[in-house]
Amino acid sequence: MVAKEIIVNGKVQGVGFRIFCQQYARLNHIKGYVKNLASMQVKIIAIGEINDMKNFIKKMRKGPNYGWVFNLEITDLTDYENYENFTIKY
């Protein structure tokens, strides 16, 4: 298992990014959450198997059709909660 904190920069608020993220997290068996930040970025906490995580991150780099992703700031986490699923936090 690997755990990542991912900060997404670009046009990622108001374009369905959180729903997009949740759908692909669930398809790739990723647990954790996604939430908007006041800085107009999106924060993702993602926990899953290495190959699932690679697929998930690849999709997050593309983003939804109505948005665009400038870059991802990815940090490995060593201390994290065990999540039961992937949720959207408000």
Residue at 42: amino acid letter: V
Residue 42 and residue 90 in contact, taking contact as beta carbons nearer than 8 Å: no
The catalytic site residues sit at 18, 36
Interatomic CA distance for residues 47 and 53, integer angstroms: 8
Q: Which two tokens stand for residue 72?
A: 């991802």
